[in-house]
Amino acid sequence: MIFKFNLFSYFAASYGPNPICKGCLSCSKDNGCIRCQHKLFFFLRREGMRQYGECLHSCPSGYYGLRTPDMNRCSRCRIENCDSCFSRDFCTKCKTGFYSHRGRCFRGCPPGFAALEELMECVEGCEVGQWSEWGTCSRNNKTCGFKWGLETRTRQIVKKPAKDTIPCPTIAESRRCKMAVRHCPGGRRATKTKEKKKKKKNLMERAQKQHSIFLATDKTSQ
pLDDT at 84: 85
Q: What's the pTM?
A: 0.44
pLDDT at 125: 75
Cα–Cα nearest to 74, from 101, 102, 103, 46? 46
Long-range contacts of residues 131-136, Cβ cutoff 8 Å, at least 24 apart: 131/155, 134/175, 134/177
pLDDT above 90 for 172: yes
Mean pLDDT of the chain: 79
If pLDDT is split at 50, 70 and 90, which confidence band does 14 have? Answer: very low
If pLDDT is split at 50, 70 and 90, which confidence band does 188 have? Answer: low
pLDDT above 70 for 18: no
Which phi-psi region, left, alpha or beta, contains residue 196 (left: φ > 0; alpha: ψ -120 to 50)?
A: alpha
If pLDDT is split at 50, 70 and 90, which confidence band does 187 have? Answer: low
pLDDT above 60 for 17: no
pLDDT at 134: 94
Q: How much is the average pLDDT of 59-73?
A: 86
Long-range contacts of residues 132-139, Cβ cutoff 8 Å, at least 24 apart: 134/175, 134/177, 137/177, 137/178, 137/179, 137/180, 139/179
Cα–Cα nearest to 137, from 174, 171, 173? 174
**Minimum mean pLDDT range among 36-50, 76-90, 98-112, 185-199:** 185-199
- The proportion of the chain whose per-residue pLDDT surpasses 70, expressed as a percent, equals 81
Distance spanning both ends of the chain, measured CA to CA: 177
DSSP notation for the chain: ------HHHHHHHHHTTSGGGTTEEEEETTTEEEEEPTT-EEEEEEETTEEEEEEESS--TTEEEE--SS--EEEE--STTEEEEEETTEEEEEPTT-EEETTEEESSPPTTEEEETTTTEEEE--EE---------BBTTBSBS-SEEEEEEE--EEE--SSTTSPPPPSEEEEEEE-SBSS-TTSHHHHHHHHHHHHHHHHHHHHHHHHHHHHHHHHHH-
Q: How much is the average pLDDT of 6-22?
A: 50
pLDDT above 90 for 89: no
